Amino acid sequence: MNAVLIAVLVMLVLSLLRVNVVFSLAIGALTGGLVGGISFTDTVNIYTEGLGNSASVALSYALLGGFAMAVSKTGLPEAVVRLALKIVGREGDNKRKALSKVLILLIILIISCFSQNVIPVHIAFIPLLIPPLLKVFNQLQIDRRLVATVITFGLITPYMFLPAGFGKIYHDIVFTNLKASGLTIDKGDIPIAMALPAFGMVVGLLFAIFISYRKPRMYQDIGISSDQENNQAYTKRGIIFSLIAIVAALAVQILLDSMIFGALAGIVVVYFSGAIKWSEADSVLTDGMRMMAFIGFVMLSASGFAKVIQETGDVEALVKDSAALIGGNQIVGAFLMLIIGLLVTMGIGSSFSTIPIIATIFVPLCIELGMSPLATIAIIGTAGALGDAGSPASDSTLGPTSGLAVDRQHNHIWDTCIPTFLHYNIPLIIFGWLAAVIL
């Protein structure tokens, strides 16, 4: 049995059975290591060693949670809620509520897309924007699975298609690994090759909006914390300092390429605004870090999982077995390579980390099958992005959950992972396969 298949299957089944994702990843890694012929002790050591690869990411998310909680003390979230409630209108004004629902979802979609390319903050906006809007979602009876699907679209599609911000990083990774594997391409060809797969994401989003989650869904108005909500009355001074803090955080993050110091810069500005007393600063930051701690622990566990999977060597074995089934058929070959990409990314939770793993194997296989450079780019780029939506360990699913589950009425697996998996991975496979066949 292939260790990659077994490890991913164990992790996914346990997650679907509502076993904590951190434990599911750890047990999946242990199972995969043992199936791959690695001893129990060595598997544990490899898993532990792999945890360090995401230590900085985990700390970044923890500090972003602290920053989000600090900003909430300035009253900005309360101002956002008041504005949104004015937009929503009176109870029973169905036409205005429908327009309000469209407007709010559109704003969330735009901000999500901008977070990848225009202002590359990734999921940092979620703990600031989403929790204060939960009341509004409840009043409009918006299905939170739709909100999760909208956010995930914005976190994935822009980096797949547009060569800016995180998209530039992703395209650079694709270009570098294709070249290292024996295929030199023009970077300008990557957006062309990824146009059809990106269109597949658009199809999935439209299906979610107009078919899957168009009906209203009821939620209870539950306070965000035990001592009512963390928001407090806003003032003009508080709003000004919160905006300065956000700008400072973004500027430092972009200049230093560090989410850690970006969050710290924002926290410092809030401190000096007087919105937080020094005596209560520790508890405020601790509460914020606790809000994002789940993401950090999952990312750590996912790194350990990825390390074990790589050490088994069964990714290469999986490709070789698939090559035997292909038998020189480009159509079958493209489909199997996309499925392998889906399995790898579902396990490790990172499309950026998937590319180096699969490129060294897929590029020679594509060349052997006589596929064009554009078709090869489409396969590699799509295979890497596959699974980013739907993976329990991906920050593209963990991010939306962190904001939508603050009041414990949104489940990570059933309300974020499964909806995004169905609406994005299926279209990605179809349109990625079409791109590989047509180009």
Task: Name which of 10-19, 157-166, 395-404 the model is least confident about.
Answer: 10-19
274: left (phi over 0), alpha (psi -120 to 50) or beta: left
Which has the higher per-residue pLDDT, 158 or 307?
Answer: 158
One-letter amino acid for residue 72 of the chain: S
- C-beta of residue 388 within 8 angstroms of C-beta of residue 343: no
**pTM for the structure as a whole:** 0.76
Rounded Cα–Cα distance for residues 43 and 31 (Å): 9
CA distance 393 to 416: 12
CA dihedral defined by 70, 76, 80, 81, rounded to 10 degrees? 70
How far is 310 from 250, CA to CA, in rounded Å? Answer: 35
Measuring CA to CA, which residue among 118, 114, 194 is closest to residue 154? 114
The span from the CA of 321 to the CA of 315, in Å, is 10
Over range 289-311, report the average pLDDT.
75
Assigned token pair, 306 = 């990825």
pLDDT in tens, 208-217: 999 999 899 9
Q: Which amino acid is at 289?
A: M
Q: What's the pLDDT score for residue 228?
A: 40
- Distance between CA atoms of 190 and 4, rounded to whole angstroms? 28
Select from 388, 406, 404 the least CA-distant residue to 349: 388
232: left (phi over 0), alpha (psi -120 to 50) or beta: beta
* Maximum separation of any 2 CA atoms in the chain, in Å: 69
Instruction: Please name which of 354, 353, 327, 328 lies closest in space to residue 341, comparing C-alpha atoms.
Output: 354
CA distance 407 to 396: 20
Q: How many CA atoms lie within 13 A of 435 on its CB side?
A: 30
Work out the percent of the chain whose per-residue pLDDT is above 70: 87
Report how far Cα 69 is from the mean position of its chain's Cα atoms.
Answer: 21
Q: Quick check: 414 and 230 in contact, CB under 8 A?
A: no
Question: Which band of pLDDT confidence, cut at 50, 70 and 90, is reported for residue 89?
Answer: low
pLDDT at residue 104, as a whole number:
86
pLDDT tops 90 at residue 143: yes
Q: Spell 56-77 as b/e; 16+ CB within 10 A means b.
A: ebbebbbbbbbbbbbbbbbbbb
pLDDT digits (tens, 9 = 90+) for 219-275: 887 765 444 444 455 677 777 887 888 788 878 877 887 778 887 888 888 888 777
